[in-house]
């Protein structure tokens, strides 16, 4: 099996968009053991993506009495490598225009309740007669899925439409339950499966199952209810928009159903929330679903926030949308490499050359970023033992470079002298610094991260 080169980090999440009213959503969450799959020989990546958790979510459209707008969603968080954090990607390896290896994420479903008439991917007696499959792609972020049906002897790709969504670290597939033959009140069994398969191999390179033993997971669609006669306000939380490193716009929908009400968002770092946005009033007499938003600023980068929409009528109990979580983006990083040249003798050091290189990296995926000289402020200064303090210019594209030996060269630096090279890029960047301390005949180097605002954390190189 070939090694995939992947670099990405993300925190675990299950931020799932709900329907127009929280009372119309029914869901079931599941979890799986972390790290229960084999690791590749290099120790960096799992052989097959590791299932972490997920959810089934049924949305009853705009009412309780009709089925034409029903939606059934399957969401799963998978991790591609055993390092800290979650690398939520599904990959394919392509050589000479041909796919030679792929990751697969599938939901196998038994819709007829008979475990003896379908297929089972593992040791669990499932008897699946339908399966939803997401196939990995070169970029790691597939956008399509297929639905297969069991013929009795083999899987056949159907014409059923399924939409793929990516919500933070969740891969999700949404489709109409009727397309699988599932009616209101029906109970179905299912199992979530990941595999990594090579064209040249008879069996998968690896697989993960949820569950992997015992009984399959099961979910019951809510029964079709009578027409709704009580026109209470409805509130639904939807996916946040314009999410950055320190801000996000919370979103939802409200249907006052003619009642005067006030709405707001509860939010915080846990489902206890603890904070709320300002109240907004909707006067009586208004009907119809309307979108509402509230902007948050001053958030921490790379942090997860929970929120939900609350609507309170002038008379009656408040209604709340489902909890959704959103993770702010990590700051993009400036990566600094510095290489001083010189010689030390008798406790005194003299620098003869000093090269500097700066690169930009995406804070979430570690992908290289376009970097231009004007976006980076670069300085060199003595923290002790000398008096240099000056800016210098970087040149190049993407990888910016400079030779700064002339700025610090020619000076006799006593033992204990420290020179710092510092690069910053404003509020969207995690800056970097390199500190070199001359201690008699050796050099002690430290690499530092600089957050916007100046807080600096250093480690010995």
Establish whether the linkage from the previous residue to 44 is cis, with ω within 30° of 0.
no
Q: What angle do CA 453, 459, 461 make, to 5 degrees?
A: 130
Domain 332-460 falls under CATH 2.60.40: yes
SS (H, E, C) 81-148: CCCCCCCCCCEEEEECCEEEEEEEEEEEEECCCCCCCCECCCCCCCCECEEEEEECECCCCCCCCEEE
Q: Which residue has the tokens 């509860």?
A: 266
Looking at CATH, the fold of the domain delimited by 234-327 is given as: Immunoglobulin-like (2.60.40)
- Those residues whose C-beta lies under 8 Å from the C-beta of residue 179, and which sit 6 or more positions away, are 147, 160, 161
347 pLDDT tier (thresholds 50, 70, 90): confident
Percentage of residues in the chain having pLDDT higher than 70: 92
Per-range mean pLDDT, top range of 67-81, 122-136, 342-356, 406-420: 122-136
Residue 66 confidence (pLDDT) = 67
Beta carbons of 411 and 404 less than 8 angstroms apart: no
How does 97-111 read in b/e, with b if 16+ C-beta sit within 10 Å?
eeeebbbbbbbbbbb
**pTM score, two decimals?**
0.47
Q: What is the 8-class DSSP label of residue 285? A: T
Looking at CATH, the fold of the domain delimited by 22-220 is given as: Immunoglobulin-like (2.60.40)
User: What is the C-alpha to C-alpha distance for residues 171 and 106, in angstroms, rounded to an integer?
Assistant: 11
What the block records as the tokens of 43 is: 């120790």
Residue 65 confidence (pLDDT) = 60
User: What is the C-alpha to C-alpha distance for residues 237 and 17, in angstroms, rounded to an integer?
Assistant: 7
* 147-161, 240-254, 266-280, 402-416: range with lowest mean pLDDT: 402-416
How far out from the chain centre does Cα 447 lie? 27
Strands in 50-59's sheet, in edge-to-edge order, are 25-31, 50-59, 71-79, 170-175, 163-167
Within the chain, all domains assigned CATH 2.60.40.10 are found at 234-327
* 284-288, 348-352, 417-421: range with lowest mean pLDDT: 348-352
Tell me the pLDDT tens digit for each residue of 21-36: 333 678 999 999 998 9
166 pLDDT tier (thresholds 50, 70, 90): confident
pLDDT at residue 349 tops 90? no
Residue 86 confidence (pLDDT) = 87
Tell me the pLDDT tens digit for each residue of 37-65: 999 888 888 999 999 999 999 988 655 56
What is the end-to-end Cα distance of the chain in Å, rounded? 34
Mean pLDDT, range 267-276, rounded to an integer: 96
Residue 1 confidence (pLDDT) = 31
Tell me the pLDDT tens digit for each residue of 372-421: 999 999 999 999 988 899 999 999 988 999 999 888 877 778 888 899 99
Mean pLDDT, range 337-359, rounded to an integer: 86
217 pLDDT tier (thresholds 50, 70, 90): very high
Residue 15 confidence (pLDDT) = 31
- The closest alpha carbon to 273, from 250, 292, 256, 241, belongs to 250
Residue 154 confidence (pLDDT) = 94
pLDDT at residue 10 tops 50? no
């Amino acid at each position: 099996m070939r090694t995939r080169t992947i670099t990405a980090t993300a925190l675990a999440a299950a931020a799932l968009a709900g329907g127009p009213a929280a009372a119309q959503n029914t869901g079931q969450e599941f979890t799986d053991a972390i790290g229960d799959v084999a690791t590749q020989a290099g120790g960096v990546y799992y052989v097959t993506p590791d299932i972490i958790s997920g959810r089934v979510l049924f949305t009853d459209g705009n009412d309780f009495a009709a089925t034409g707008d029903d939606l059934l969603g399957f969401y799963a968080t998978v991790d591609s490598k055993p390092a800290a954090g979650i690398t939520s990607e599904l990959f394919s390896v392509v050589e000479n225009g041909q796919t030679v290896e792929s990751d697969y994420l599938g939901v196998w479903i038994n819709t007829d309740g008979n475990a003896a008439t379908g297929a089972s991917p593992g040791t669990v007696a499932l008897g699946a007669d339908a399966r939803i499959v997401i196939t990995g792609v070169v970029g790691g972020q597939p956008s399509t899925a297929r639905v297969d049906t069991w013929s009795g002897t083999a899987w056949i790709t159907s014409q059923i439409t399924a939409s793929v969504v990516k919500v933070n670290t969740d891969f999700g597939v949404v489709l109409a339950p009727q397309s699988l033959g599932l009616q209101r009140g029906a109970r179905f069994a299912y199992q979530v499966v990941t595999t990594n398969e090579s064209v040249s191999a008879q069996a998968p390179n690896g697989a993960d199952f949820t569950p992997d033993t015992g009984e399959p997971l099961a979910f019951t669609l809510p029964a079709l209810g009578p027409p709704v006669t009580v026109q209470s306000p409805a509130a639904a939380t939807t996916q946040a928009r314009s999410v950055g490193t320190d801000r996000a716009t919370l979103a939802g929908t409200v249907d006052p159903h003619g009642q005067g009400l006030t709405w707001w968002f509860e939010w915080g770092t846990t489902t206890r929330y603890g904070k709320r946005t300002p109240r907004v009033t909707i006067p009586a007499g208004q009907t119809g679903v309307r979108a509402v938003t509230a902007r948050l600023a001053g958030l921490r980068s790379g942090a997860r926030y929970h929120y939900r929409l609350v609507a309170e009528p002038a008379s009656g109990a408040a209604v709340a949308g489902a909890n959704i979580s959103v993770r702010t983006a990590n700051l993009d990083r400036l990566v600094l490499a510095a290489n001083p040249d010189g010689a030390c003798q008798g406790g005194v050091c003299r620098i003869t050359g000093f090269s500097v290189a700066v690169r930009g990296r995406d804070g979430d995926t570690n992908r290289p970023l376009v970097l231009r000289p004007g976006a980076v402020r670069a300085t060199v200064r003595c923290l002790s033992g000398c008096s240099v303090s000056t800016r210098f210019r970087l040149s190049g594209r993407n990888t910016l470079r400079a030779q700064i030996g002339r700025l610090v060269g020619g000076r006799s630096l006593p033992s204990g002298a420290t020179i710092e090279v510092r690069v910053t890029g404003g509020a969207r960047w995690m800056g970097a610094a390199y500190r070199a301390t001359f201690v008699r005949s050796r050099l002690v180097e430290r690499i530092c991260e600089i957050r916007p605002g100046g807080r600096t954390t250093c480690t010995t190189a």
